[in-house]
Amino acid sequence: MSDRPIKWDKSYYSFTGFRDPDEDLEHVSKMETTLTSWLGSNGKRAIKKLENSLPLRKELDRLKDELSHQLQLSDIRWQRSWGLAHRCSQLHSLGRLAQQNLETLKNAKGCTVIFTDRSGISAVGHVMLGTMDVHHHWTKLFERLPSYFDLQRRLLLLENQISRLLGDIQVVYIEELQPVLTLDEYYSLLDVFYKRLLKNRVPFHPQSLRGLQMILNSDRYAPSLHELGHFNIPTLCDLANLKWFILTRAQQARENMKRKDELKVIEDELIQASTKKFSLEKFYKEPSVSSKQMVDCCKRLLGQSLPYLQGMHLCVSHFYSVMQDGDLCIPWNWKNGEAIK
C-alpha cells in the first residue's frame, strides 16, 4: 500500500467541520511565532475574510433568532467549528422541517438544540441533531422527546439518590471535561454505580459532603481529585476505599472549588478589558483552554499595543491560524519570541 498521506479536497473540511491543515488552520512554524509579526503578516487576510463573511454572519443570526422564536428554544449551538455557510445550511434544513412538522418540533420547547455528529438527547438534555442524518431521523427524535423528558426526570432522581448515599455530594456532568454521552448512556452509567452503592453500603454522615461535586466515568481506575475541585469517580472503583479517599481530600476539594470561582471572576474581567482595549468585535476561547491559561494570556495581551486587532474576532487557542470566516486564532501561551510548546 502507498504510504503517501491522504490529501482531502477542500470541500471535505468545509462539510465535516474538521480542520484543514493546509488552509483553514494554517499553523505557523516555530521561527514565525512572534505575535506581532504573525498578526502583521496575517491581519489583512483575516480582515478580507471577515468582511466577506459579514452577510453570512447576519444571515446566520437571523435564521437562529427566527428558529429559536418559532420553536421556543433556549439556544442553538454547534459542536464543531463548521463554517458559516454550513451552519446556515443546517439551519435552513431545520427550518424546512419546521414548515413540514411544526407541531412535532414544538416538543423541543425550552430545549437547547446542538448540531453534532449523531442524533439523540445528550446527557444534560440537549437535543442533538446529527448533520449527516436525514429529516426522517430528526423527525423521529422530536416525536420521542416526551419519553426522553421522562427519562431525564428519572435520571435526576437517580443523581439525588446517589448524592444522599454519599453525604449529599452533588453528582454533575461537565460537558467540557467528559466524553459526549447520550441520555440513555449516562443513565446506564449512573444506574450501575447506584446499584453497586446499594449492594456495598458506604457509610457517610448525612450532608457531610454538601457543597462538593463529583462526576462519574466508565474508567476502571482509582478515583481522583480534579484541579477544578470535583471528584472524578470511576463507576467500577473500589467502594471500600472510596470513603477514605473522599474524606481525606474534601478540604482540598473545597479550596480548589474556591480558587476556580475566583479565577472565573478574574477571567471574565480580563476578557471584558481586552475586548474594550483592542476594540474587538468578539473575544472568546476554545473549550480546551483553561481559565488559568486564559487569564495568563489576557494579562500579557493587555500590556501590548496591537492595532491589527481592531474590529476582529479573536479566539484564544493552542496555535496560530486564520479561520475560513476570518476569525484569528492565537495560542494562549504566545510570546514575543517562540510560543511555549
List, for residues 192-221, the tens digit of each pLDDT value: 999 999 998 888 888 999 999 999 998 767
Contacts of 17 (CB under 8 A, 6+ apart): 78, 80, 81, 82, 83, 86
Contacts of 19 (CB under 8 A, 6+ apart): 13, 25, 81
CA distances to 34, 243, 316, 338, 341 from 320, in Å = 10, 45, 9, 12, 12
**Is the distance from CB of 316 to CB of 284 less than 8 angstroms?**
yes
How many other C-beta atoms can be found within 10 angstroms of the C-beta atom of residue 64?
18
The predicted pLDDT at position 322 comes to 94
Band of pLDDT at residue 178, cut at 50, 70 and 90: confident
As a whole number of Å, the CA-based R_g of the chain is 23
| pLDDT tens string 43-58 | 999 999 999 999 999 9
For residues 28-46, give the mean pLDDT.
78
- What was the pLDDT predicted at 179? 85
In whole angstroms, give the CA distance from residue 264 to residue 205.
31
Question: What's the domain range around 284?
Answer: 279-333
Q: Which comes out higher in pLDDT, residue 158 or 22?
A: 158
Amino acid letter for position 137: H
Is residue 325 within 8 A of residue 56, CB to CB? The reply is yes
For cell 447506584, name the residue: 194
Q: Is residue 305 part of a domain?
A: yes
Those residues with Cβ within 8 angstroms of residue 201's Cβ, 6 or more apart along the chain or in another chain: 165
Query: Which single residue is written with the C-alpha cell 484541579?
Result: 227
Residue 304 lies in a domain: yes
Q: What is the pLDDT of residues 72-113, one digit of tens each?
A: 999 999 988 788 999 999 999 999 999 999 999 999 999 999
Query: Of 17 and 290, which is predicted with more confidence?
Result: 290
As a whole number of angstroms, the distance between CA 313 and CA 281 comes to 6
Residue bearing the bigger pLDDT, 291 or 336: 291
Q: Is the pLDDT of residue 156 over 50?
A: yes
Assigned domain for 328 exists: yes
Residue 96 backbone phi and psi in degrees, to 5:
-65, -40
Q: How far is CA 171 from CA 157, 161, 231, in A?
A: 11, 10, 9
* Least confident span in 29-33, 108-112, 240-244, 295-299: 29-33
Residue 21 has pLDDT above 80, yes or no: no
Does pLDDT of 341 surpass 50?
no
pLDDT band at 30 (very low <50, low <70, confident <90, very high): very low
Q: Which of 128, 107, 112 is nearest to 185 (CA)?
A: 128
Residue 19 pLDDT > 70, yes or no?
Answer: no
pLDDT tens column, 292-327: 999 999 999 999 999 889 999 999 999 999 999 999
Give a yes or no: residue 176 inside a domain.
no
On whether residue 247 sits in a domain, the answer given is: no
Residue 274 lies in a domain: no
Considering its fold, how many domains does the chain have in total?
Answer: 1
Does residue 306 belong to any structural domain of this protein? yes
Q: Is 329 helix (H, G, I), strand (E, B) or coil?
A: strand
- The reported pLDDT for the residue numbered 212 is 97
pLDDT at 134: 81
Q: Quote the cell numbers at residue 181.
A: 454521552
Query: What pLDDT is stored for residue 50 in this prediction?
Result: 95
Pair 234, 197: CB distance under 8 Å: no
Residue 335: how many other CB atoms lie within 10 Å: 12
pLDDT score of 5 more than 70: no
Alpha helix stretches (DSSP H) within 166-218: 183-199
From 88, 80, 75, select the one nearest 115 (Cα to Cα). 80
The whole-model pTM stands at: 0.82
Asked whether residue 302 is assigned to any structural domain, the reply reads yes
The helix/strand/coil state of 19 is: coil
pLDDT band, very low/low/confident/very high, at 155 (cuts 50, 70, 90): very high
237/322 Cα distance (integer angstroms): 44
